[in-house]
A and B are shown apart, each in its own frame.
Chain A
Amino acid sequence: MTDLTAEQTQALIARLTTLADDDLLLSHRDAEWTGHAPILEEDIALANIAQDELGHAMGWLELRKTLDGSDPDVLAFRRGPEKFCNSALTELPKGDWAFTMVRQYLFDAWEALWQDAAKASPYGPLAQAAALALREKRFHLQHTALWVERLALGTPESEWRTREALNAVWPYALGLFEPLDGERSGIDAGLLPDPAQIKARWLPLVTAHFERCGLTPPNAVPVARGTHTEHLAPLLTEFQDVNRQYAEVTVW
């Protein structure tokens, strides 16, 4: 299928940009651990996850480029915070190891399920990109699920840190399933997965895992997509620092 309506193109662009922004910011937060992780093996593992997330972000932006000719580097380095459409979940500071692992686990579960559903999209380039990313995403999910378990069933300290992290992150994670403006026509045409259906798979999956780990997610109101925290602007200031300092350089 190659004939997209203007509305469907806009729906795809909206979703691809959101996916890219989430992956980009999460990659940034994960990479903040490189050289500072609790064990050397995690300097390696989390750096790997951070690279995969960045690679996925690049993949989504490349797909967007085929739809509207936009430049991935310009989108990443020259947009201000008001133009970013990531979930606030991904912009929160890295916190402690429990926070990083719980956030990544919840995000991995969401994205793996979304990618799994997107494999069936009749829009071929999206289905292919989703299948490719999903292979890596499954490894992330295994890794972070095990960390959540280790920490929750480790020591009293690691248990409370994990519980605190879950309480803090949960409302933001629920916000991942908010539909995007303009996405409806893509969902109705079957081009894009329906976030409500993804949530219906995600909720029992993660709740069962937390239950095995002796944890219960709190009752919480989702933080709506489009709501940003005070952490996004300084994150982008750092992220875009060198690129913006040399405004006339186009090739790095």
Chain B
Amino acid sequence: MTATLKIQANTDQHTETAEQHAAFEARIAGGEKIEPGDWMPAEYRRQLIRMISQHAHSEVVGMLPEGEWISRAPSLRRKLILMAKVQDEAGHGQYLYHAAETLGATREEMVDALLSGKAKYSSIFNYPTQSWADVGMIGWLVDGAAIKNQTMLAGCSYGPYSRAMVRICSEETFHHKQGKEMIVQYAAGTPEQRALAQDALTRWWWPSVMMLGPHDKDSTNSGVMSNWGIKTKSNDQVRQEYLNEHVPELLELGLTLPDADLHQDADGNWIHGPINWDEFWDVVKGKTGLNKERLATRNAAHDDGAWVREAMLAYGNRLRAQAAD
């Protein structure tokens, strides 16, 4: 984050007292939402800005892998749905930047942090989309995982984030449905369509399981976030819910999941085999995957649009000057 925010955070830290903390935690324990003007610990503010802006960046970068397929969607109906979906992602990015702005971050700071590579976004968007069926699989699996996470965050203690999540989840549910509908149709379609669906599943299964975050024992930020009611469930809990919902539906279609150890335990939970976290971290760190390409694309759009933003500013100044005359 920027110098301004650090200063604000430091100032808050100096003035934070045990009483303030106790009162704040009591509000959270009582199920109250924390609102923008309320007192909050500097660390709570910092964690939220980090998390919300990261989430906004994920939506913005998330436009790219699927956006690639708008021009090539194979039917008018699918094209219209995909356009609407990618547009929703831009809209989610916008809500979330606004939610983070209520904590004192500015759009410019956040966008700069994304473009310079300082801020993270979900590494799931660094995987390439290789076929049209990937669009369906991303809708079903990736948006399915996102919904699990976001439904949990809709109950979080910070009001603007919680409300943004409620709205976003309702649109993500549409994305999830359209993805599932596509894959269900292709799994029962021609042999070529079925092969496309299987290939997409094989490539997207593990990335979507990993996208719910490291195991609880390896998750560095989870502790403080659950204490403050930001995260109300652990990564592994959310992952379990995700598997229990998606595994039986995929198997029902006769598709094969790329996990030889996958099984159901005595309680009916679907248990996955060992996860290759090295692969996950390589993608997160940009050693593999399309991190450089995605950031280059965003940077190019930003740089190419500089003259447009300057024109908007100049035009706004001209209107203000005219009004003042």
Contact = CB atoms under 8 A, between A and B. Distances in A.
B224 interface: no
A76 B309 contact: no
A57 B307 CA distance: 32
Contact of B84 (A43, A51, A155, A242): A51
A47 interface: yes
Interface in A23-51: 28, 31-32, 34-41, 43-44, 47-48, 50-51
B74 A154 contact: no
Contacts of B300: 36
B312 A51 contact: no
A10 B43 CA distance: 70
Contact of B307 (A28, A149, A157): A157
Nearest to B75: A252
B311 A154 contact: yes
Contacts of A55: 80
**Majority DSSP secondary structure for residues of A touching B:** helix
Given A47-B83, A48-B87, A248-B190, A154 B76 contact: no
Interface size class of B (residues with CB under 8 A): 35 or more
Interface stretch (B89-97, B152-160, B276-284): B89-97
B93 A151 contact: no
B63 interface: yes
A237 B52 CA distance: 40
A154 B310 CA distance: 8
**Majority DSSP secondary structure for residues of B touching A:** helix
Interface string A213-252: 0000000000000000000000000110111001011011
Interface in A54-112: 54-55, 57-58, 61, 72-73, 76-77, 96-97
Interface of B: 60, 63-64, 67, 70-80, 83-84, 86-87, 90-91, 93-94, 97, 132, 185, 189-190, 192-193, 297, 300-301, 304-312, 314-315, 318
23 contacts: A34-B87, A34-B90, A35-B63, A35-B64, A35-B86, A35-B301, A36-B304, A41-B94, A44-B87, A47-B87, A51-B83, A51-B84, A55-B80, A57-B76, A58-B77, A77-B75, A96-B304, A151-B315, A154-B311, A158-B307, A239-B72, A243-B74, A252-B77
Interface of A: 28, 31-32, 34-41, 43-44, 47-48, 50-51, 54-55, 57-58, 61, 72-73, 76-77, 96-97, 149-151, 153-155, 157-158, 161, 238-239, 241-243, 246, 248-249, 251-252
